[in-house]
Structure 1
Amino acid sequence: MATPAAQAATPDDDTTTLTGAEIRRIQEKQIPAPAWKIAIRYAMDKRGTPYVWGGASRQGYDCSGLMLRAYEAAGIELPRTAAEQYGAFSRKISWDDLKPGDLVFFSGLGHVGMISKPGYMVHSPHTGDVVKEEKLSDWRRQAFVGAVRPDRAGVREWKQVLEHREETGPAPLTASVE
């Protein structure tokens, strides 16, 4: 007859032993992906979708509509237009400090794309084109206005600014005659 200690070590026991690597793999699966990774995945999955002015759906995207939906998929709500998206964050990112997930703005805030990997961006360029990834060219660098790194706190602050503007109304116009 087996002793209780011997019984505990039998193959019929429901005990599972995991290695450190297996435990890390299980823990990593439980950690949600960072917002920027989710946003990039969303935008990259839309490659080939036609550019549609004012578009923000699978029928078509304009540049800011693609960024809006990409970060929405990651749980971050952005304003609608490129200029508002740039203004939603007080911290600006320089050309030399760009990282995947950063929103990059060009041509007087008339265009926005997202850094997909070093030296590349995903964007919806213009009418007649499709969402695509392209290399950041010298021309893009010359047209570069700035970049932001979306985060939930920055957007909340921007919403508060907009709400305050709505509550207080437009600033009164004043003029002086000399």
Structure 2
Amino acid sequence: MKTGRRTLTTAAVTVVCAITVLAAPGTAFAAPTPPPPPSASASAGGAPSKELEAVRKELDKLYRAAAVATEEYNAAEEKAKQQSTEVVRLAKKIAKGKEKLAELKDRAGAAAASQYRGGGLPPEAHLMLSDNPQEFLVGAGRIRQGQHAAEGLLGEMKRTQEDLEQYAQDADAQWRKLEVGRKARAKAQKKIEKQIAAAEKVESELEQEEKERLAELERRAAQKAQSAWLDSGVLDGIETEATEQGRKALAYATAQIGKPYEWGAEGPKTYDCSGLTSQAWTSAGQGIPRTSQQQWKQLKRVAVTDMRPGDLVIYFDDASHVGMYVGDGAIVHAPRPGRTVTIAGAGSMPILGVVRPDTGVSET
């Protein structure tokens, strides 16, 4: 990777990423350059810059809260899927267990009917009435076999009944968990909708010229953070290329550029941040956890200075956001409501760490 390539414009980076990743996987990308300073006319009229900066921070706070709630919702949804699968598995076991118990009861009934047909006397009584010693000995062996079979049948019926009771208890426990999960999802959904509605209300009260100035403030804040990150020398010496799986995941992720963000979405038309990264790696044949928090907890962690294209960059102390590293200081990610999948500076948000979905050797 060439760390000196930091002079391309944001638009150029987006175009290069959308095309070059597919044509020549593993190619690094330059970080966006700072936008021009706001003109004098941009400061005239409307809310003062300090007020807009306060609005920017408030919006960032609201959308961050929505992102946290979104990952809570995703986690609850993922657990619900697993629990539903377990309920189905237990239901099948219960059904098979009932069939088996019915079969065992039929066999027990047949044995009782056989005894009834023998005059109601137990096999031992019939044997004692026999005048033939040889028949007596043969019959005694059969009686022992019959007793063992009857004991085995009763034991199997008991075990089957106990299994059925245990399956029923387990299924009930899973249903209870599903109900808890449903409440957790509903709670998270309310939090998401509340935060997004509050953010949209703040934005709706701005004039068009103020919205443009606000967007400029957002770009400049992101660029300031990115420049500070690059100036730290964190990318110096990084030359690692993507693995074959990493290239496939990157190709998928960058192909989604321009598609809208939607909380809880995993594609193919809309995505949230972890929906994009999890689906990208699934497309590459590597299943990974659904949420950014679980990606941070379960995947292999690597140093920022060792990251390679395809790795996932986890953001904020609560691991509530994630993007995929594309190279040369940039990520592809689904930012927030009202935005689309895009390329951004990897250092434009506070980095918690980097995780690696695959363990393959990179192609240098």
SS state at 1:44 partner:
helix
Kept in 1: contact 2:260–2:271 (CA 8 A): yes
* Structure 1 residues without counterparts, runs of 5 or longer: 1-32, 154-178
**Is the aligned partner of 1:40 residue 2:250?**
yes
* Structure 2 residues without counterparts, runs of 5 or longer: 1-242
CA distance in 2, matches of 1:98, 1:40: 14
SS state at 2:286 partner:
coil
**Is the aligned partner of 1:130 residue 2:337?**
no
The amino acid of 1:83's aligned partner reads Q
Which position in structure 2 is the counterpart of 1:92? Answer: 301
**Is the aligned partner of 1:146 residue 2:353?**
yes
SS state at 1:71 partner:
helix
Which digits, 9 at most, give the CA deviation of each residue in 1:22-46, with x for residues without a partner? xxxxxxxxxxx71100000000000
Kept in 2: contact 1:99–1:118 (CA 8 A): no
SS state at 1:60 partner:
coil
**Is the aligned partner of 1:56 residue 2:283?**
no
CA distance in 1, matches of 2:354, 2:295: 10
Kept in 1: contact 2:266–2:275 (CA 8 A): yes
Which position in structure 1 is the counterpart of 2:278? Answer: 68
Q: Report how far residue 136 of structure 1 moved.
A: 2.4
Which digits, 9 at most, give the CA deviation of each residue in 1:47-88, with x for residues without a partner? 000000000012200000000110001001111110011112
Which position in structure 1 is the counterpart of 2:327? Answer: 117
SS state at 1:57 partner:
coil
Which position in structure 1 is the counterpart of 2:125? Answer: none
CA distance in 2, matches of 1:147, 1:46: 22
CA distance in 2, matches of 1:136, 1:96: 12
Kept in 1: contact 2:325–2:346 (CA 8 A): no
Which position in structure 2 is the counterpart of 1:19? Answer: none
**Is the aligned partner of 1:102 residue 2:311?**
yes
TM-score (norm 1): 0.62
Kept in 1: contact 2:313–2:346 (CA 8 A): no
Kept in 2: contact 1:122–1:134 (CA 8 A): yes
Aligned residues: 117
The amino acid of 1:150's aligned partner reads P
CA distance in 2, matches of 1:93, 1:85: 13
Larger helix fraction of residues: 2
Which digits, 9 at most, give the CA deviation of each residue in 1:77-117, with x for residues without a partner? 1111100111122x311222221011000012000000011
CA distance in 2, matches of 1:98, 1:78: 18
Alignment RMSD, CA only? Answer: 1.6
CA distance in 2, matches of 1:70, 1:62: 12
Pair 1:80–1:102, CA change in 2 (3 A): same
Which digits, 9 at most, give the CA deviation of each residue in 1:103-142, with x for residues without a partner? 00001200000001120000000000000111223x42xx
The amino acid of 1:95's aligned partner reads V
Kept in 2: contact 1:104–1:146 (CA 8 A): yes
Q: Report how far residue 152 of structure 1 moved.
A: 6.8
CA distance in 2, matches of 1:135, 1:48: 17
Identity within the alignment, %: 36
Q: Which has the higher relative contact order, 1 or 2, with Cα contacts under 8 A spaced 6 or more apart?
A: 2
CA distance in 2, matches of 1:101, 1:126: 21
Kindly report structure 1 stretches of 4+ aligned residues shifted beyond 3 Å: none
SS state at 1:56 partner:
coil
Pair 1:152–1:54, CA change in 2 (3 A): farther
